[in-house]
Amino acid sequence: MKKMIALLLTLVLALSMLTACSSPQKNSDQDTTQSTEETPARNGGNDESAVPELESPAEGPASVSNIASVENVPLLTLNNGVQIPQLGLGTQIQRLENDASESGRKLLNDTSHDAVVAALQSGYRHFDTAHGYNNETGVGQAIIDSGVPREEIWVTSKLWPSEYGEGTTIQAIDDMLERLQLDYLDCIYLHHPAGDYLGAWKDLEEAYKQGKVRALGISNFDNWPEAFDAIIDNSEITPQILQIECHPFAQRLETRELAGQYDIQIECWYPLGHADDRLLNNDVLSKIAEAHDKSVVQIILRWHMQEGFSAVPGSTNPDHIQENIEIFDFELFDEEMEQIRDLDQGEDGRYFNLNYEQMGGFFTNR
């Protein structure tokens, strides 16, 4: 009897080994299952099919892109594999925007041009402009005049809501490229959640597939959660970047958590709190700055970097532009990071928080 039992056990073991050897490998299936469970579906959880394969953003004109780290500025990897310099220059010049005369527009674009050239000389390779800033011509000419190869520069612009709509936005993208004198953009944002942003998103997806843009973003969509959800639920391509107001007084924890669910990179405008004296003269920040022999501005921007944000502080002053990039030769200690996090005032710390349901017409009628 014992011999029969032993023989049966041997046969069972042999059959098990034979089955394991002849079965397909499970590692790839297990990895796929795990990835699917950990990554939110592109349509907000209702996707019953696999995520569609997308054409590479390196196809078409964008295939020449060659972004690299310069002056120790780190590169962040977006959810489509594209890399972006973490620190950039914001080019909006609000004090010059209101003069719509020919001389006023020339001054605005000349000033933007000089700021971008100065930034490129300091090692910046990331620039943020917009149709609504009325300075794309100056920014584009600066890239040409600088002598820095275009393919080494990350250039972002934003579409105004009056340019939204399927069939309308694709032409607006071509017009934008013409103003900038570029063959492709590294990122295009929908500037505000107003108008036909879903139609605009479809055209952005088409431009992405054509290689006219390497990454897609939404700006200020944190101010209207319904619009954010609509983009997520109806998109074939999940946004790569969400641009929001963010600084130590408004650290946007809920928005950051939401973006994280979809592996969307946070980029911060007003990273210096609109140069609010209450922030730039804050006692906590001043003590940290003194300890590192840095300015308060440099401490704030270093905090942004260590939090994993991209940030685009604006300036037209070459000295300030240089100062802002000199933040990669030191690190904030954990306790200093916590002290800065404690400065958060939540939504009360914000400077810009429009109700888009009430003001949507303002953006589409301009």
Say what the pLDDT of residue 246 is.
98
**What one-character-per-residue DSSP string does 239-300 give?**
-SEEEEE-BTTB--HHHHHHHHHTTPEEEEESTTGGG-HHHHT-HHHHHHHHHHT--HHHHH
Where does residue 257 rank: exposed (0-12), middle (13-18), buried (19+ CB within 10 A)? exposed
pLDDT band at residue 9 under the 50/70/90 scheme: very low
**What one-character-per-residue DSSP string does 22-37 give?**
HSPP-HHHHHHHHHHH
Report domain extents, the chain. 65-349
Rounded CA separation 20/17 (Å): 5
Rounded CA separation 198/254 (Å): 24
Say what the pLDDT of residue 36 is.
30
Question: Angle, to 10 degrees, between the axis of helix 169-180 and the axis of helix 136-146?
Answer: 50
Tokens of 164: 């939204």
pLDDT single digits (tens) 172-189: 999 999 999 999 999 999
Cβ-contact 310, 87 below 8 angstroms:
yes
Output 361 or 20, whichever has higher pLDDT.
361
pLDDT single digits (tens) 22-67: 333 333 333 333 333 333 332 333 343 344 455 566 678 988 999 9
Dihedral sign for Cα atoms in the order 28, 29, 32, 38: negative
pLDDT band at residue 193 under the 50/70/90 scheme: very high
- Range of weakest confidence among 51-65, 76-90, 120-134: 51-65
pLDDT band at residue 216 under the 50/70/90 scheme: very high
The DSSP letter of residue 78 is P
The DSSP letter of residue 362 is H
Give residue 211's Cα distance to chain centre: 18
Alpha helices in 127-247 (DSSP H): 136-146, 169-180, 197-209, 225-234
Mean pLDDT of 55-81: 89
pLDDT single digits (tens) 304-363: 999 999 999 999 999 999 999 999 999 999 999 999 999 999 999 999 888 887 776 777
Rounded CA separation 21/161 (Å): 59
Instruction: Tell me the residue type at 359.
Output: M
Give residue 351's Cα distance to chain centre: 20
**Multiple choice CATH, 65-349, 3.20.20.100, 3.50.90.10, 3.40.50.150, 3.40.50.20:** 3.20.20.100
H helices, E strands: number in the chain: 15, 10
Q: Residue 50's closest CA among 68, 34, 36, 39? A: 36
Report residue 147: phi and psi, to 5°: 85, -5
Say what the pLDDT of residue 187 is.
98
Over the range 282-301, which residues count as b (16 or more CB within 10 Å of their CB) and which as e? beebeebbeebebbbbbbbb
Mean of pLDDT over the chain:
87
Cβ-contact 279, 273 below 8 angstroms:
yes
The pTM of the full predicted model, rounded to 2 decimals, is 0.84
Rounded CA separation 170/163 (Å): 9
Report angle CA 219, 230, 53 to the nearest 5 degrees. Answer: 90
Where does residue 120 rank: exposed (0-12), middle (13-18), buried (19+ CB within 10 A)? buried
Report residue 225: phi and psi, to 5°: -55, -35
The DSSP letter of residue 185 is B
Cβ-contact 207, 170 below 8 angstroms:
yes
The CB density around residue 46, as the number of other CB atoms within 10 Å, is: 8
Work out the percent of the chain whose per-residue pLDDT is above 90. 78
State the catalytic residues: 133
Output 287 or 38, whichever has higher pLDDT.
287
Report residue 55: phi and psi, to 5°: -65, 145
Provide the β-strand partners of residue 84: 76
